[in-house]
Structure 1
């Protein structure tokens, strides 16, 4: 059984601490989830209570995945406490390491993110860049996967990254079941930009939600950004601006993401030929689907199908 070890640091956020158990624990006993601290002693939460756990750092070498939830921003520092450094040093090479929100600061302080892409809460992006200039920070996304290290943005992005791991490990069908159990969407569109404070739009302004819904029902068509703008009755420029404000991604990028998501679902749940799947999701040819899928997750459609139809492993990327 895949063991997930959650490392609770001093000042841990209680909500984020509970995310791994809630998500992985809903995957029908496919994961074992355990919690530890750097010394086995209780830690204070960022609320008005202490958290007591049964395990210390001896769990870390046994983990297949280690998750570091968010901790109090007042404790953020470019210097890492010795007990934390010793605990992180106990993690086996090749172990999957995941941070939620401010947990990325601890990974960066330990040097685990140097030269790598990473993310954290958008409000802390300037502080992060100042402390850790060697990290390739992208504050616009909900989470980033770079090999065996994943970083996620604030709070609910911890749910997003955990669901992504379930999907990578066991396929979309299991991930969708977990999402339904947790009463959350299987994945969210766009990035953090949609949650950053924006000027209040004009009361009479139009949104893009109806057009997004229409696009999802018509993915088989060769839709363009101009088609979406026409449906929304906006100019291309106005539509693109409002779409990015609402979703956090460009219309073209969002459309490609939706097509790939539908294609992955069909690859996992049907025996349709690749060219038929390409047509159903709006890619002109099977070659176009192969190109986009490989760019997104690093595998070809047939390799993806073999992996997730059998449930024997995870696709690369």
Structure 2
């Protein structure tokens, strides 16, 4: 049994519940008599704590009880912590095996000095403030989660699920973490090295016809994908399609297809052991040099550099 404690406080963000849910599901799918995790909610005062969404959480008061994992939840907006909370978090490494922060929970860890000289991340909107207030933190604002020794930090939001699955995998193995991910109906479990902001979010067409063209493109990524091919999938003439596509996405079909290709290729580079040539072939680039140039335009790095970062993050 692993005790996991969630530090809650007034203005505790409801998105931090994503992490709680993963451990709850892990307990429900475990094929053992004893569940692998026991969950606790702790706060300075104990009792009921009102969260940011108005929901009341029952909590235990801070004690010296050691936990396997201590998770500091984020607030809607970062603010100075109370002396009692900082003292509790500052002493946490002496008692707990590992410590995680969700989104702006990184501010609490930084204020307690736990992130000094460590690699860390937080939600991209709050990253500049965290770096300005705590320059000793080695902040990477474009990672969904990071691990440095016993300290884990995440961007929050949906990235909290990715972090919790990584923690579960760390405890119980990759196969068990996959079972939990399936139970949570997660389409794709991301590695920590992925970017917080996906360029695919820019492709949000309103009409079914343009969406059909993008679906066709995703299903046929390995093909050249001409405008005529996409227009045929949308049941429009090439001229009508190009005009409608730009009106709905703000980009040309060619640019959008490149975005689809580099995002898909990046996932393959980070999650698979395929060679660079094989990734280029599967994602429709004419060769590895064509893919490298597209990566540099999109991410400012080569495919090899992104794969190296992902492996270093995984090994850490």
TM-score, with structure 1 as normaliser: 0.69
Residue 299 of structure 2 corresponds to: 244
Q: What's the offset of the Cα at 1:76?
A: 1.6
Aligned partner of 2:65 among 57, 61, 66: 61
Output the CA distance in 1 between the equivalents of 2:137 and 2:20. 29
Q: Is the 8 A contact 1:20 1:33 kept in 2?
A: no
Kindly provide the CA deviation profile for residues 258-282 of structure 1, in whole angstroms up to 9, marking residues without a partner as x: xx9xxxxxxxxxxxxxxxxxxxxxx
The verdict on how the C-alpha distance between 1:92 and 1:239 changes in structure 2, with shifts beyond 3 A counting, is: closer
Q: How far, CA to CA, are the matches of 1:53 and 1:215 in structure 2? A: 40
SS of the aligned residue for 1:188 comes to coil
Cα deviation for residue 208 of structure 1 reads 4.5
Equivalents in 2 of 1:207, 1:108: separation in Å? 39
Aligned equivalent of 2:168: 166
How many residues matched?
A: 255
Does 2:79 match 1:76? Answer: yes
Q: State which structure, 1 or 2, has the greater radius of gyration over its C-alpha atoms.
A: 2
In structure 2, C-alpha distance between the alignment counterparts of 1:142 and 1:102, rounded to whole Å? 13
Do the aligned partners of residues 25 and 144 (structure 1) sit closer, same or farther apart at CA in structure 2, a change above 3 Å counting? same
Tell me how large the CA RMSD over aligned residues is: 3.5
Give distance in 1, aligned partners of 2:303 and 2:66.
43
Question: Match of 1:20?
Answer: 19
Secondary structure at the residue paired with 1:26?
A: helix
Aligned to 2:157: 155
Could you tell me whether the CA contact under 8 Å between 2:292 and 2:303 is conserved in 1?
Answer: no
CA distance in 2, matches of 1:109, 1:214: 34
The CA deviation at 1:84 is: 1.0
Retained in 1: the 8 A contact 2:266–2:303?
no
Task: Report the 3-state secondary structure (helix = DSSP H, G, I; strand = E; otherwise coil) of the residue aligned with 2:126.
Answer: helix
2:25 counterpart SS class: coil
Distance 1:204 1:234 in 2: 21
- Label 1:236 to 1:46 Cα distance change in 2 as closer, same or farther (>3 A): same
Match of 2:125 among 119, 123, 126: 123
Separation (CA, whole Å) in 1 of partners of 2:132 and 2:275: 46
Return the offset for 1:9: 1.7
| Cα distance in 1, alignment partners of residues 92 and 273 from structure 2 | 44
Deviation, 1:216, is 5.0
Which residue does 1:207 correspond to in 2?
258
Counterpart in 2 of 1:307? none
Shift of 1:196: 11
* Partner-residue secondary structure (3-state), 2:11: coil
1:40 counterpart (40, 46, 56): 46
Cα separation, partners in 2 of 1:221 and 1:232, compared to 1, 3 Å: closer
Distance 1:62 1:12 in 2: 22
Taking a change above 3 Å as real, the CA distance of residues 252 and 34 of structure 1, as seen in their structure-2 partners, is: same
Q: For 2:141 and 2:75, how far apart are their aligned partners in 1? A: 18
From 87, 109, 112, the counterpart of 2:111 = 109
Name the counterpart of 2:135.
Answer: 133
Partner of 1:85: 86
Unaligned 5+ runs, structure 1:
261-292, 299-316
2:178 to 166, 176, 179: 176
Q: Distance in 2 between matches of 1:210 and 1:153?
A: 25
For 2:267 and 2:160, locate their aligned partners in 1 and report how far apart those are by CA, in whole Å: 28
Going from structure 1 to structure 2, the CA distance change for 1:187 and 1:226 (only over 3 Å counts) comes to closer
| Mapped contact 1:142–1:152 kept (Cα < 8 A) | yes
Structure 2 counterparts to residues 256-267 of structure 1, below 5 A: none
2:56 to 51, 54, 66: 51
